[in-house]
Structure 1
Amino acid sequence: MGITERAVHKSGFHKRSSGGPRGVNRGRFGRRCLCWQVIFLLVAALALFVGCSRQEPVKVGFVGTLTGKNGDLGVAGRDGVTLAVEALNAQGGINGRKVQLIVKDDAQDPAVAVRVNAELVREGVAAVIGHTVSSMTKAGLAVFEKSGIVVVSPTSSTTDLAGRDDVFFRVMEPNSFFARHHAETARRLGIRRVSVIYDINNPAYTVDMSRIFRDDHLRSGGTIVREVSFDSTKAPVFSRLVKSLHIPAVDGVLILASSVDTMQIAQQIRKLSPTVPILSGACGLAQRDLLQMAGKSSEGIIFTLPVNSQSTAPAYVAFREAYRNRFGTDPTFSSVMGYDAAQLIFAAMKKEPDPRRLRDAIKSMSRFEGLQGPIELDPFGDPHRSLCVVRIRDGRDEVLGE
């Protein structure tokens, strides 16, 4: 017997591993231990994964025009959304998960809108609030449609996106509703002869509104004296453009442009007539700081707004106070629309946390509570809410009706 064989025989290892009961039991015991260890590790890993998932924030994107002539619209909308996110997170978030807001500026440039939308997709957002300008919504929507990501716009009102079964929703009525409301306001105030001036740089809003207003105004027996267009990107000379509106021959002027351009056009109109009524589609101009900048030029401007700044609705009063404390200024209509857009998304997420089913969750909501009352949604995600007609009188809002 060799050295190796003698060592094995002496140790008894050869005998115990020969298949006897004691060897079998020890083998089974070892396999059971290994099995339980694997199960324990799997359970621990699963618990760790679930725990991490619960702590991981829900990413929500905001994209809007934060710079340039329509920057006031985007900044106010972003601030409204920010307040909604902070309030939600203070209450525990969505099903125990906090919301992380990712903000992008589209710079009112179609190419930039497409690029920043793609960035939001790569960053894994569950939903998006935006855009704030109609032309940017149209330019960048295909990015979200391809990815199946729900988009809720606070202030895009283009009629081109109405009645579509897609991922796009909004809390502001389409242009057709606003344009007809402007025409009705002109009829009620006896404004029959109207000149229109509009910016072609945001055609999804301005050209659309101008056409619908013209058609409705003419049907009611009114007259369009002049229609003048300009491109805000090419340094328009407003004094020359306003002279072509034939101000002495009109009962009123409809301006469809950004808040800043509307203010400058109104200044030129007031040089020719201090009293002619001005109908404005620039809801953002109704905010207090811009009216103060416009001074006497804002006198007599008439807005059709989706928000009543004098509302006494408890939710709006509380929001206004929180907004003042957070940002040091009063909320604008865009702030309210941004907050409402966020609330629509959050309400749907609480019902359906899976982003892939978020579209269906919103479509199942025929109405939800906005800051100033219930907002009804049609089957295509277009809203119906009360509109408020406001005229600036002595630097203050004069509510003419709804």
Structure 2
Amino acid sequence: MKRVSIHMWLTLIFVSSILGIILVACGSNQPIQIGFIGSITGRLADMGMSARNAVQLAVEQCNEQGGIRGRRVTLIIKDDRQDAETALQAIQELIAANVVAVVGPLVSNMATVVVPHLNEAQLLTVAPTVTTPHLSGQDDYFFRVCIASQEHAFRSARYQIESGDMRRVAVVYDGGNRTFSENWLANFKKPFVAGGGKILTFIEYKEKDGRSFSDIARELLAAEPDGILIIANPMDSGLLCQQIRQADASIKITLSNWGASQRLLEMGGNAVEGVTLPIAFDWDSPSPPYLTFRKKYLERYQREPGFAGVYAYDAAQVVLTALKASELQKPLKAVLLSIGEFDGLQGKIRFDAYGDVAPAHASIRIVRNRKFVVVE
């Protein structure tokens, strides 16, 4: 009896060892999962779809090149619908799915909602287009590949003062992304007022408040400004420009960098001709990686990637590069910080110890013949 028990025990050890080897081998071939979160429906869908498409392209290219040490990468896509509860649920689902990192979110309001939960889970996120300074200078799991919003706002204010185009300004901003909008306005107002400008009035609107853009346009013009500043998403910016131009065809209009996308041109039509805006992104960049990416993106999706697509591709490549340099044992955040510098489509991406990138020069552009043309 004792001999049988020993035999059975040895057999169990042998079988367990074989099963363990099989499970390890199978586990090592399991796909590596990355999450994506952004608004891919509603008024921000143009940015969300551009970003999602670019991340999908980056993942496909990675898999075509052999994946991560032979393991395929899969992308789990979540739509936050620009809604806090939806975003939180999406993040919890990504955490439960054991993704190794997240690309997104895309707007500041959603970032301030989900980043605390990502920090609690110690899950790295690389945001393509989140510009709020409220997440700057923090030792957390939030990284971004774009510059913070104050650089754009300062540049816009200085341009308006130096050019003399706008001295008396009425402002309308999207309260649905208040974290971005109010900060952008504050950073614009300080140098603008110091330079002799005056903010006559400001109007906050939200998608659900029921106010028509024609009513907002009339209220803005009632203050008798010589210019109007719109801080809103591309779709709303274009529609607001239409209503403002219908009431006053000659009034000068400037936008925040948030409005700078193909969607603005599509929704605004002739009403956005002559509109100015500040942005660090360069549609005309001669960078070979950018030109190659843009060509592939156009062939695949038949539309321009815009700044959201380019920055999302950069964010995805940051994650994929860190994964390739990691053995999935060292925390991905530590790997990313140890690398420090990454190749972006339009130049180097250099992270500081807090996951922020160095400030970059924002140019002033004007819409001419449905193109964003550099003014200075």
Give yes or no for TM over 0.5: yes
Which has the higher mean CA deviation after the structures are superposed, 373-382 or 243-252? 243-252
Structure 2 residue 71 is matched with structure 1 residue 97:
yes
Structure 2 residue 279 is matched with structure 1 residue 291:
no
Contact 1:66 1:75 in 2 (8 A): yes
In structure 1, how many angstroms separate the alpha carbons of the residues matched to 2:131 and 2:61? 27
TM-superposed CA distance for 1:96, in Å, is 1.9
Secondary structure at the residue paired with 1:369?
strand
The alpha-carbon distance between structure 1 residues 365 and 185, as it changes in their structure 2 partners (threshold 3 A), is: farther
| AA aligned opposite 1:48 | I
The alpha-carbon distance between structure 1 residues 248 and 208, as it changes in their structure 2 partners (threshold 3 A), is: closer
Structure 2 residue 212 is matched with structure 1 residue 237:
yes
Structure 2 residue 339 is matched with structure 1 residue 399:
no
Mapping of residues 69-84 of structure 1, within 5 Å: 69-84=43-58
Which has the higher mean CA deviation after the structures are superposed, 53-62 or 183-192? 183-192
Structure 2 residue 328 is matched with structure 1 residue 363:
no
TM-superposed CA distance for 1:283, in Å, is 3.4
In structure 1, how many angstroms separate the alpha carbons of the residues matched to 2:91 and 2:36? 10
TM-superposed CA distance for 1:355, in Å, is 6.8
Aligned to 2:227: 252
Structure 2 residue 292 is matched with structure 1 residue 318:
yes
In structure 1, how many angstroms separate the alpha carbons of the residues matched to 2:336 and 2:155? 27
In structure 1, how many angstroms separate the alpha carbons of the residues matched to 2:28 and 2:81? 35
Structure 2 residue 365 is matched with structure 1 residue 390:
yes
**In the TM superposition, what whole-angstrom CA distance separates every residue of 1:150-183 from its partner, at most 9, and x where no partner exists?**
1111111112111111011111222222211221
In structure 1, how many angstroms separate the alpha carbons of the residues matched to 2:63 and 2:268? 38
The alpha-carbon distance between structure 1 residues 117 and 355, as it changes in their structure 2 partners (threshold 3 A), is: farther
The alpha-carbon distance between structure 1 residues 71 and 139, as it changes in their structure 2 partners (threshold 3 A), is: same
In structure 1, how many angstroms separate the alpha carbons of the residues matched to 2:339 and 2:167? 41
| AA aligned opposite 2:102 | V
Mapping of residues 241-280 of structure 1, within 5 Å: 241-246=216-221, 249-280=224-255
TM-superposed CA distance for 1:358, in Å, is 0.9
The alpha-carbon distance between structure 1 residues 247 and 326, as it changes in their structure 2 partners (threshold 3 A), is: farther
Contact 1:171 1:340 in 2 (8 A): yes
Higher relative contact order (CA 8 A, sep 6+): 2
In structure 2, how many angstroms separate the alpha carbons of the residues matched to 1:240 and 1:248? 13
**In the TM superposition, what whole-angstrom CA distance separates every residue of 1:218-276 from its partner, at most 9, and x where no partner exists?**
12222222222222221222222222223784342210112221111111221233343
In structure 1, how many angstroms separate the alpha carbons of the residues matched to 2:139 and 2:361? 24
Secondary structure at the residue paired with 1:338?
helix
Contact 1:283 1:303 in 2 (8 A): no
TM-superposed CA distance for 1:294, in Å, is 1.8
Contact 2:257 2:279 in 1 (8 A): no
Contact 2:143 2:355 in 1 (8 A): yes
| AA aligned opposite 1:119 | E
Contact 1:275 1:300 in 2 (8 A): no
Contact 2:230 2:255 in 1 (8 A): yes
Aligned to 1:303: 277
Structure 2 residue 208 is matched with structure 1 residue 228:
no
Structure 2 residue 97 is matched with structure 1 residue 112:
no
| AA aligned opposite 2:317 | Q
Q: TM-score, normalised by structure 1?
A: 0.85
Greater Rg over alpha carbons, structure: 1
Secondary structure at the residue paired with 2:375?
strand
Structure 1: state its 5+ residue gaps. Answer: 1-26
Structure 2 residue 145 is matched with structure 1 residue 171:
yes
In structure 2, how many angstroms separate the alpha carbons of the residues matched to 1:114 and 1:34? 49
TM-superposed CA distance for 1:107, in Å, is 0.9
Structure 2: state its 5+ residue gaps. Answer: none
Q: TM-score, normalised by structure 2?
A: 0.91
* Partner residue of 2:190 out of 189, 206, 215: 215
The alpha-carbon distance between structure 1 residues 108 and 366, as it changes in their structure 2 partners (threshold 3 A), is: same
User: Percent same amino acid at aligned positions?
Assistant: 33
Contact 1:149 1:355 in 2 (8 A): no
In structure 1, how many angstroms separate the alpha carbons of the residues matched to 2:371 and 2:123? 41
| AA aligned opposite 1:262 | S
The alpha-carbon distance between structure 1 residues 268 and 306, as it changes in their structure 2 partners (threshold 3 A), is: same
Aligned to 1:372: 346
**In the TM superposition, what whole-angstrom CA distance separates every residue of 1:121-164 from its partner, at most 9, and x where no partner exists?**
11110101111121111112222111110111111111211111
* Coordinate RMSD, CA, aligned: 2.4
| AA aligned opposite 1:337 | Y
Contact 2:217 2:244 in 1 (8 A): yes
**In the TM superposition, what whole-angstrom CA distance separates every residue of 1:97-137 from its partner, at most 9, and x where no partner exists?**
11110000111111111111101111110101111121111
In structure 1, how many angstroms separate the alpha carbons of the residues matched to 2:115 and 2:322? 20
TM-superposed CA distance for 1:301, in Å, is 1.5
Secondary structure at the residue paired with 1:307?
coil
The alpha-carbon distance between structure 1 residues 367 and 274, as it changes in their structure 2 partners (threshold 3 A), is: farther
